């Protein structure tokens, strides 16, 4: 793309205009990230300053992969991310398809469906905590009526379902908007041509609409995985706090627990470095793909 070149009369002005953004990035992103990188190579000194931090190279990383808790957490993260992504994407696609059929009420429904996105993750977590609370919540009460004894404080499965629901619920709004926009960019005449070609409603969806949505779907897939892995701290913290017995202790929550609760800074830093590597890989995939977004 050709952009217009602007010439500044004062040589320092462009740098001054860029400075705020650069400073924010340096202070809040680059500095902590490099700190984590540095710290991940050290063993924590003791609290009294008698034994200084000692350089251990990659020992923190090696220790992590020997630690069964960490491998468990990886597995939990995998289940949680896949569950959250699949649930958030399928439900939002369903909503988008349904709202796209509306004519006059479309904007109203869109507004309502976007609201959850405006709610802070911790608040969303608390809402779900109330709804699912084994003693005062409405859902366990209903489930008990059908013979299911809900208790996410003792059941690993219940706890996982709860955090997946809470995390997916928040992401549905975001996905919904993208899917709706994607649906609206499909020319109506394609659907009409398919109808004349004898494709039933569901056949049209699977053979025409879904393939044409694939760029949006892939973009959302990456965004949702990143969300589930890194942005769900608030949801976990407000509902299960990683329990019961580490059943919902996803990687990003474990970083916090090990670092700030258990004060094992070296290991925590190494874990966040691994997370950083994962997010870099995902971002690269995403950008590579967006560059040639149109696959047909």
Interface contacts to other proteins, rule CB under 8 A: 187, 189-190, 192-199, 203, 207-208, 211-212, 214, 295-296
Q: Which is nearer to other proteins, 17 or 102 (CB)?
A: 102
Q: What is the DSSP letter of 45?
A: P
Q: What is the nearest approach in angstroms of other proteins to the Cβ of residue 194? A: 7
Q: What is the nearest approach in angstroms of other proteins to the Cβ of residue 195? A: 5
Q: Which is nearer to other proteins, 157 or 189 (CB)?
A: 189
Name the β-bridge partners of 43.
54
Q: What is the nearest approach in angstroms of other proteins to the Cβ of residue 99? A: 19
Q: Which is nearer to other proteins, 166 or 209 (CB)?
A: 209
Length of the chain (residues): 296
| Max Cα–Cα distance, the chain, nearest Å | 81
Q: What is the nearest approach in angstroms of other proteins to the Cβ of residue 196? A: 5
Q: What is the DSSP letter of 54?
A: E
- Which token pair is 37? 């990188």
Sequence-separated (6 or more) residues with CB below 8 Å from residue 209 = 97, 183, 186, 191
- Which token pair is 172? 């549905």
Nearest CA-CA partner of 253 in 133, 153, 263, 243: 243
Q: Tokens 């793909």 appear where? A: 289
Q: What is the nearest approach in angstroms of other proteins to the Cβ of residue 100? A: 17
Q: Which is nearer to other proteins, 155 or 217 (CB)?
A: 217
Q: What is the nearest approach in angstroms of other proteins to the Cβ of residue 176? A: 23
Nearest CA-CA partner of 229 in 254, 246, 259, 247: 254
Cα–Cα distance between 266 and 114 in angstroms, integer?
A: 40
Q: Using an 8 Å Cβ cutoff, are 220 and 201 in contact?
A: no
Q: What is the nearest approach in angstroms of other proteins to the Cβ of residue 198? A: 4
Q: Which is nearer to other proteins, 195 or 278 (CB)?
A: 195
Sequence-separated (6 or more) residues with CB below 8 Å from residue 238 = 121, 122, 123, 124, 125, 126, 129
Q: Which is nearer to other proteins, 112 or 206 (CB)?
A: 206
Q: Which is nearer to other proteins, 103 or 146 (CB)?
A: 103
Cα–Cα distance between 180 and 45 in angstroms, integer?
A: 53
């Amino acid at each position: 793309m050709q952009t217009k070149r602007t010439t500044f009369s004062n040589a320092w002005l462009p740098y001054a205009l860029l400075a705020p953004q650069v400073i924010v990035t340096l202070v809040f992103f680059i500095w902590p990230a490099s700190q984590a990188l540095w710290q991940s190579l050290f063993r924590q000194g003791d609290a009294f300053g008698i034994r200084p931090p000692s350089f251990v190279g990659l020992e923190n990383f090696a220790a992590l992969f020997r630690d069964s808790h960490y491998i468990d957490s990886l597995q939990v993260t995998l289940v949680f991310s896949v569950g959250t992504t699949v649930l958030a994407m399928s439900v939002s696609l369903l909503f988008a398809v349904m709202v796209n059929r509306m004519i006059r009420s479309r904007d109203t429904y869109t507004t309502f469906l976007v609201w959850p996105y405006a709610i802070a993750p911790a608040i969303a977590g608390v809402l779900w905590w109330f709804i699912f609370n084994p003693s005062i919540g409405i859902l366990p009460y209903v489930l008990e009526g059908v013979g299911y004894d809900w208790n996410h404080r003792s059941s690993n499965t219940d706890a996982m379902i709860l955090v997946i629901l809470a995390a997916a619920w928040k992401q549905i709004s975001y996905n919904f908007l993208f899917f709706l926009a994607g649906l609206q960019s499909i020319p109506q005449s394609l659907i009409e041509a398919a109808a004349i070609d004898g494709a039933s409603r569901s056949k049209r969806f699977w053979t025409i609409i879904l393939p044409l949505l694939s760029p949006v779907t892939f973009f959302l897939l990456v965004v949702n995985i990143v969300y589930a892995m890194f942005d769900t701290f608030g949801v976990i913290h407000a509902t299960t706090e990683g329990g019961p017995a580490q059943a919902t202790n996803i990687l990003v929550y474990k970083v916090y627990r090990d670092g700030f609760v258990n004060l094992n800074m070296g290991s925590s830093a190494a874990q966040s470095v691994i997370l950083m590597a994962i997010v870099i890989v995902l971002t690269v995939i995403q950008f590579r793909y967006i560059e040639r977004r149109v696959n047909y």
